[in-house]
Structure 1
Amino acid sequence: MDTITKLGTVFASFVICQLIFHFVSSWFSTKVFPRFNSLSWEEKIDWNSRVVSTYHASVVGVFCLYILFFDKALRADPIRGDPWLVNVNIAITSGYLISDLLFLIFYWKAIGETVYIVHHCAMLYICFHILKEGILAYIGNFRLIAEISTPFVNQRWFLRTLRYQKSSEAYIINGVLMTVTFFLTRTAMIPAFYYYLYCMYGTDVYIGLGLLIQCSLIGSCVTIDVMNAIWMVKISRGWVKLIQEI
């Protein structure tokens, strides 16, 4: 996949995310959820941001699973493998991350949080190396599997904003799906990922990456995993609180 195509995909992803945020989300939400019109300005900004996030996570998640189970070429060479579909997936994610960073900055009072800035920058750093150097595609795809849990995280916020009771069937079912997918794709994969890095450490291929890329890879992943672990603790506490309230 040549550089022009990669940049074009990043730009197209960025534009689509902007269009969904500024036009599609409000139009669709008004027709499907009448309560959307009564939301505050801050809630509408957060709502539209989460619609974009859900769109991105759904597209990327499907690609990730397909690549994980069916891309034999990538599994054969997880370090230097450079399949076009992974590059497309990483480019889509890069466009989304850039777009969402702008949302966070321009609408800081409504949705701005430092932890999301750190998360997005760490993810962009990994994406940059994958697209620029044509390496670590397997690891990049492995990390993006975490996005499978994102639609359920957003749905929880939508249900709360629409005033669903925490004891309602929809809230509980989504809560279970959110917890299971978050644990499986973000928490349970942490030891598997670092075991993979441990097995790779010291090999000729790993040494060939160079110190900068090695430190970038490990530093970015540690940052993201610490945040995922903190979020998992918060989800667990939420369940304890919900059970006590029911």
Structure 2
Amino acid sequence: MITTTTMTTKTYFSTYNFEQMLNIKFDPTFLPVAATSFTLFIFLYKVINPILSNLLIKDYKNFTDGQKIDWSTRINSSINSLTVGIICIYMMIADHGLEANPLLYKSYLLKTNLCIVIGYLLSDTAINIIHYKKIGDPFSMAHHLVSVYAFVHVLTLNVMPYFANFRLLAELSTP
């Protein structure tokens, strides 16, 4: 006697989604946001942060070059975390599409937020490379580049936006 067993499998991705993943095309729509973010954070680092620090921090003049670089990058980090964190909280509260489809959802606000972070991460990496002898940290640079890689996947594939947003919430923990 011969018996046959039929196995059922659950489909997580539709054929359309599978074809979409195979036909990945770079979408330059959000590239200006990342470039603007990069430029803004470099401008803050080189111009605005030193001017405001000289005006507001009495001992700033006595900082070593390394301390000034570190101070300015920490200001940039705080600005990034506050900006990105506020957008993340708003999305968690108000963007119901993100909640309804956490694996595959196109959110233009999330993409904008990711590009802000990508611009910041690339600017901070560039600053670390330029001033490597004073403040360079290979682990920090590796962390930045791996984060950029992951966020570019979310931007390109439109996958796991909820988890990307949740990950960005961790930016609020920046001291």
Residue identity in the other structure for 2:160: L
Residue identity in the other structure for 1:49: T
Pair 1:134 & 2:158 matched: yes
- CA offsets, 1:191-227, max 9 Å, x none? xxxxxxxxxxxxxxxxxxxxxxxxxxxxxxxxxxxxx
Aligned residue-pair number = 150
After the TM superposition, which of the residue ranges 126-135 and 20-29 deviates more from structure 2? 126-135
Residue identity in the other structure for 1:47: W
- Report deviation, 1:5: 3.1
Which runs of at least 4 in structure 1 moved beyond 6 Å after TM superposition? none
Pair 1:121 & 2:145 matched: yes
Query: Where in structure 2 are there 5+ consecutive unaligned residues?
Result: 1-25
Out of 20, 24, 42, the residue aligned to residue 44 of structure 2 is 20
Pair 1:103 & 2:103 matched: no
Which residue number in structure 2 is paired with residue 60 of structure 1? 84
Residue identity in the other structure for 1:126: A
Structure with bigger gyration radius = 2
Pair 1:83 & 2:107 matched: yes
* Superposition RMSD in Å: 1.2
More helix by share: 1
Out of 40, 43, 46, the residue aligned to residue 67 of structure 2 is 43
- Report deviation, 1:27: 0.5
Query: Where in structure 1 are there 5+ consecutive unaligned residues?
Result: 154-246
Structure number with the bigger relative contact order (C-alpha 8 A, sep ≥ 6) is: 2
Percent identity between the aligned chains? Answer: 30
TM-score, length of structure 1 as denominator length: 0.59
Structure-2 separation of matches of 1:83 and 1:126: 16
Residue identity in the other structure for 2:39: V
Out of 31, 34, 55, the residue aligned to residue 7 of structure 1 is 31
Residue identity in the other structure for 2:87: F
